[in-house]
Structure 1
Amino acid sequence: MIKSFRTSLALVFLLLMSVVLSGCSDAVKNNTEVPFVVLNDDDGSFKADIYYWNLKTNRIKETNENLYKIPQNIITNKELYTIFPIAWDGQNHAVLPSYLEVSDKFKNFVKKADFYFQPKTIWGQDVKLVKSDEKNRYKLTLIDGGKTEEKEITIPLHTFKGDDGKEYEATKCGTVTSVVKTRYGAAMLYPCFTLGGGKLFIVKYDKASESIKWQEVGPIKGIELSPSFPPLANRTATIGENFIVRTQTNPIEVYTEKVGYKIINNISDFRKKYAPETLNSEFPEYIDILGSYNDILFLSIPVHKNEGTELYVFAVKDDKLIGIMHRTINDIEIIDTAGNVASKYNMPKAKTLIGEDDVYFPNVNGMD
């Protein structure tokens, strides 16, 4: 009888756990809550506290947990370090610079990496690309169902005609900046900058044939890629197998299957309606890319003021605006799609971060 009772108890436990996990899975699937971190002062050092932004209720939930801590000497000399994750999917995978202190709860899913001024590793979702000392040679790692496949690849030489009519060799005026795992292998984002302007390429690796193919994205009209704001991995998002790339004006979505692009024009409309002060700022304000969570894209526009830098964050899904966050010097406001402040939270910026961003959203792309 005791054995029967234990069996019944185990079944009840498993049933309850399946309900709980199902509820968590549904919350992630339906994108009702998006994780993000805020850097908060902690007696001289800093901690990256985890919060959840509920896009349906327009509210923020505090967890009383932190992903990592930043030693005081790093904050003091932060111009020499990155104080944000190199990559983070918001759930069970993060890549952090080796000098950050990971909280005990999250140590099992955090990878540590040395941070270089000359990037060596490019990270993506279930993929990474490590630069070799040999020119144009990389080690590509693909992860599928827990299985890891590594391959040494050499990107072949490629020449193209610039807008000035001259011939250029891609590997002399550009480099790989992002990578995404695809059904056939991997696709790499490869921008090039010449005196004639910027060019954008997709380099495809087919693991079945072990072949590599160059394809040009474009011609891109109506926007410009900027060497001042190049599409580096930490400022490039991925939705599915596509890259979201920043430009001097509106971002573009770059398709990797049938190589092409579309301009994300609606962000300009969102900006005019919900953040018009960014249009009249003393400084030119640019549209930046923070990252993505599942199929939600996070775009931002800074506001440089005399008292410090504020930030507007737009959550976009299927080209539709589903959330607005306004990070001010003293608080975080959640704005509804009618333009009203739906909720407000007293979270003053740390004084040493007044002129910088202190909020980080998931982005699986990064470089170390």
Structure 2
Amino acid sequence: MIKLFRTSLAIIFLIFMSVVFSGCSSTVKNNTEVPFVVLNNDDGNFKADIYYWNIKTNKIKETNENLYKIPQKMIANKESYTIFPIVWDGQNNVVLPSYLEVSDKFKNIVKKADFYFQPKTIWGQEVKLVKSDEENRYKLTLTDDGKTEEKEITIPLHTFKGEDGKEYEATKRGTITSVVKTSYGAAMLYPCFTLGGGKLFILKYDKTTESIKWQEVGPVKGIELSPSFPPLANRTATIGENFIVRTQTNPIEVYTEKVGYKIINNISDLRKKYASETLNSEFPEYIDILGSYNDILFLSIPVHKNEGTELYIFAVKDDKLIGIMHRTINDIEIIDTAGNVVSKYNVPKAKTLIGENDVYFPNVNGMD
């Protein structure tokens, strides 16, 4: 009897270990596969088709699934609507504009939100800010283990000295553009602009004391913050508790614990090596931020040509280049770190979107 019990226990242990290790190998594999969507035209019906980019093998996998469909009138009037997700973490956290048609498979996980060009809600991973009708007032929602906690917060007044030497009230010169959940509560990105240039602040919300503290990021030297190219939520990524912020030169990583920043300088080098044609464009081609997935950062540089807009996409992790995608008018090319096209996929751009970006990568930051 004891021998039988020991044998059964050994079998159970082996089964348990095989499940554990198979789960681990699956996780490692999934960490190299990055989901993204491409807006495709299927006989006049636009769909956000889901693909997977395997960073390790330099291959793309088509799923024959779509996240949502876009009504024709939205495409015809795309200047008045967004045709991309407000938030998508690449898995089960999806927020879509209310007018997009969710595919049946994803109806149970998708949240719908009304979209405004004067945003009321700022989304982050397990955190949300809703702007009140009262000046400088917000409702902050934090989620922990599926439980939500809501707090009404007021942004305290704060003055700063501009480049011209004058004193300015921050809440009159800027606004919150992004939010991230932190170990102490939440951090909010707050850019301000004056005639002399831009300033960047972090607002720290301490959930224990329910207090908010202003801290300036910087002085930010060697980059240009511009109100014409602002660090909005849908163009800001988060890696851990830090913001990745776009500027008119190189992106910067903004730290929210010990507030500070670093310039992501290697992007300029990558641009010269792999996307030199973007340096010769008739128009300035800025480095933009698409999002992040499993701590992989996705940066893009557009190329505006007579026949349409192309896009170079760089996958960066721990400041190292790990993948390159080139979205051309007719194809999606995967380029290795030697600069060679190693795989190509026939995915032509829809004529209606020939001058637009038609690729979307996961980003847990957004606004509506």
TM-score, normalised with respect to structure 1: 0.94
Name the SS of the counterpart of 1:198 in structure 2. Answer: strand
Query: 1:45·1:75 contact (CA, 8 Å) conserved in 2?
Result: no
Name the SS of the counterpart of 2:41 in structure 1. Answer: strand
List structure 1 segments (4+ residues) > 2 angstroms apart after TM superposition. Answer: 11-28
- Show the counterpart of 1:216: 216
- Show the counterpart of 1:98: 98
Looking at structure 1, the residues matched to 107 and 17 of structure 2 have their Cα atoms a distance apart, in angstroms, of: 29
Looking at structure 1, the residues matched to 49 and 18 of structure 2 have their Cα atoms a distance apart, in angstroms, of: 29
Q: How much is the aligned-residue C-alpha RMSD, in angstroms?
A: 1.7
Q: Post-superposition shift, 1:26? A: 2.9
- Show the counterpart of 1:193: 193
Query: 1:331·1:346 contact (CA, 8 Å) conserved in 2?
Result: yes
Looking at structure 2, the residues matched to 204 and 91 of structure 1 have their Cα atoms a distance apart, in angstroms, of: 28
Looking at structure 2, the residues matched to 320 and 17 of structure 1 have their Cα atoms a distance apart, in angstroms, of: 32
Looking at structure 2, the residues matched to 27 and 118 of structure 1 have their Cα atoms a distance apart, in angstroms, of: 40
Q: Post-superposition shift, 1:109? A: 1.4
1:24 to 7, 18, 26: 26
Larger mean Cα displacement after TM superposition, 101-110 or 306-315 = 101-110
Name the SS of the counterpart of 2:201 in structure 1. Answer: strand
Query: 1:184·1:205 contact (CA, 8 Å) conserved in 2?
Result: yes
Q: Is the alpha carbon distance of 1:177 and 1:103 closer, same or farther for their aligned partners in structure 2, counting shifts above 3 Å?
A: same
Q: Could you list the per-position Cα deviations for residues 148-171 of structure 1 after superposition, in whole angstroms to 9, with x for gaps in the alignment?
A: 111110010111100100010011
Question: How many residues align structurally?
Answer: 358
1:190-339 matches, within 5 Å, as: 190-339=190-339
Q: Post-superposition shift, 1:13? A: 10
Query: 1:128·1:179 contact (CA, 8 Å) conserved in 2?
Result: yes
Q: Post-superposition shift, 1:14? A: 8.7
- Show the counterpart of 2:163: 163
Q: Is the alpha carbon distance of 1:69 and 1:16 closer, same or farther for their aligned partners in structure 2, counting shifts above 3 Å?
A: farther
- 1:302 corresponds to which letter in structure 2? P
Name the SS of the counterpart of 1:311 in structure 2. Answer: strand
Query: 1:138·1:152 contact (CA, 8 Å) conserved in 2?
Result: yes
Looking at structure 2, the residues matched to 165 and 261 of structure 1 have their Cα atoms a distance apart, in angstroms, of: 23
Q: Post-superposition shift, 1:136? A: 0.5
1:119-198 matches, within 5 Å, as: 119-198=119-198
Looking at structure 2, the residues matched to 201 and 108 of structure 1 have their Cα atoms a distance apart, in angstroms, of: 37
Q: Could you list the per-position Cα deviations for residues 277-333 of structure 1 after superposition, in whole angstroms to 9, with x for gaps in the alignment?
A: 001112111100000002100000000000000000000000000000000000000
1:107-122 matches, within 5 Å, as: 107-122=107-122
TM-score, normalised with respect to structure 2: 0.94
Q: Post-superposition shift, 1:108? A: 1.5
Query: 1:285·1:301 contact (CA, 8 Å) conserved in 2?
Result: yes
- Show the counterpart of 1:64: 64
Looking at structure 2, the residues matched to 79 and 212 of structure 1 have their Cα atoms a distance apart, in angstroms, of: 37
Q: Structure 1: where are the runs of 5+ without partners?
A: 1-10
Looking at structure 1, the residues matched to 108 and 246 of structure 2 have their Cα atoms a distance apart, in angstroms, of: 33
Q: Post-superposition shift, 1:25? A: 2.6
